[in-house]
Amino acid sequence: MRHHPLDPQLFVENRDRLRKLLPKNALVAVNANDVLPTNADGSLPLVANNDLFYLSGIEQEESLLVLAPDAADEKLREILFLREPSEHLKTWEGYKHSKDDATKISGVRTIKWLSEFPVVWRGLMCDADQVFLNTNEHKRAVVEVQTRDARFIEDCKRQYPLHAYRRLAPLMHKLRVVKSPREIEVLKEAIRITDAGFRRVCKAVRPGVAEYELEAEFAHEFVRNRAKFAYTPIIASGANACTLHYIANDQPCGAGDLLLMDVAANYGNYNADLTRTVPVDGKFTKRQRDIYNAVLRVMRASIKGATVGKLHRDWTRESQLMMNDELLKLGLITADDVKNAKPEEPASRKYFMHGLGHPLGLDVHDVGLMNEPFAAGCVLTVEPGIYIPDEKIGVRLENDIVVTENGPVDLMADIPVEADEIEALMKR
């Protein structure tokens, strides 16, 4: 792992939380992700399965966690199955977890090699009443390649056709959407590194610098802090900022333009998510500042509005109505536009066409129950924007917050965002 080891108590507590949601005599299996091929004999770096990581801290390929809370043999109530290390693997692929190391990482005491899995699994299946297996059930997921979990499900149903199979994903979503204090601390480290990257890049912004050069500055700061990009960085100058998912990052930054940077760090598999928009010249024009401050006011008000018990759709609707008022002041829409708009398509969507925010955590667009009220411990992004292609202006601002019983806490409150702060930072 690149990051410092995390406290294994985080994973112990997560498993305890899952156990409380399981019925009597339940059996759970969670697989690692596949190492995906590219071309010829190439492969992509392993992306950890976030459910497996959440429950064990394990990031190694072919790993498998089994939970059988009511197993007669206490040693079989939590089992991690791993690839067995060998001199061959050590020579060609490097370090693989020993049993002792896996216990130190996960807090799981029973570690077995994968060769032992079929016999152990059969014994547990014979005693299980319900079997919880995992799939990726994110509503926006595009699943075109069969996963390791999917193959595992097919094999189980072929060998044990009469068992009652259940979906693990809804339980994991319920757990993962509410972050524990230990998770918040890891997120704060990802945010600290993101802040350092943003401040570094602001020193390098000037007319003529290429977007990819600024991406390199972020990469330098992230890697030196044992982090990586949370997602493909968006570094969009001028009209490029009006493309919501612009990732080419290959154009020069022009004098007089704004530069939108949606870039953040991933640390310990937890993701920050930051967007800032800065003037390439180091100083906003009056028009740019007016648009910027309009977005900032909506972000500030939306942060305050993220309270326990509120529905995501109502929170988003509030931001759209606030944006209507701001766009009226900017002369971008008219009172008739507001009056004649359909409730599901407010006038503001012409210039603010995306959602207000999303759950954040082990996934950037984290899993969660989006149709349920915000609960204390939910971590959300807040990211309003205004995009005006005719003026080659795109402004988006984004902070990460945690919902608490005492009101929302802005986890990015120390990262400059006021227009004067941005100008002062770039001047230095």
User: pTM for this one?
Assistant: 0.96
Q: For 1-45, how does the pLDDT look when each residue is reduced to its tens digit (9 = 90+)?
A: 789 999 999 999 999 999 999 999 999 999 999 999 999 999 999
Q: Which of 41, 344, 390, 405 is catalytic?
A: 41
DSSP state of 210: B
Which pLDDT score, from 0 to 100, does residue 1 have?
A: 74
Q: Which residue do the tokens 């067995």 mark? A: 84
Rg of the Cα trace of the chain?
A: 24
Neighbours of 2 (CB within 10 A): 13
Is 165 catalytic? The answer is: no
- Specify the DSSP element, H or E, that contains 111: strand 110-113
| Beta strands, E only, 310-417 | 379-382, 385-388, 393-396, 399-402, 409-410
What does the pLDDT look like over 280-336, one tens digit per residue? 999 999 999 999 999 999 999 999 999 999 999 999 999 999 999 999 999 999 999
- d(CA 110, CA 328) in angstroms, rounded, equals 63
Dist. CA 401–CA 417, nearest whole Å: 15
Catalytic one of 273, 366, 400, 423: 273
- d(Cα 71, Cα 125) in Å, to the nearest integer? 10
Q: How far apart are CA 165 and CA 132, in angstroms?
A: 6
Residue 143 in this model has a pLDDT that exceeds 90: no
In sequence order, what are the residues at sequence separation of 6 or more whose Cβ sits closer than 8 angstroms to the Cβ of residue 114?
A: 62, 64, 81, 82, 83, 84
Q: And the tokens for 17?
A: 């939380």
Active site residue 16: no
Question: How many angstroms separate the CA atoms of 95 and 287, rounded?
Answer: 56
Q: Which is catalytic among the residues 189, 365, 366, 423?
A: 365
The SS3 call for residue 60 is coil
Domains, in order of start, for the chain? 9-176 (3.40.350.10), 181-427 (3.90.230.10)
Instruction: Using DSSP bridges, classify how beta strands 379-382 and 265-267 pair: parallel, antiparallel or unpaired.
Output: unpaired
Burial of residue 417, with CB atoms counted within 10 A of its CB: 0-12 exposed, 13-18 middle, 19 or more buried: buried
To the query of whether residue 3 is one of the catalytic residues in this protein, the response is: no
Instruction: Check residue 369 and give its pLDDT.
Output: 79
Question: 231 near 271, Cβ under 8 Å?
Answer: yes
How far apart (Å, rounded) are the C-alpha atoms in residues 231 and 381? Answer: 14
Please tell me which residue in 300, 358, 366, 410 is annotated as part of the active site: 358
Q: Is 358 a catalytic residue?
A: yes
Q: How far apart are CA 230 and CA 39, in angstroms?
A: 25
**How much is the pLDDT for 370?**
84
Distance in angstroms (rounded) separating the CA atoms of residues 223 and 3: 10
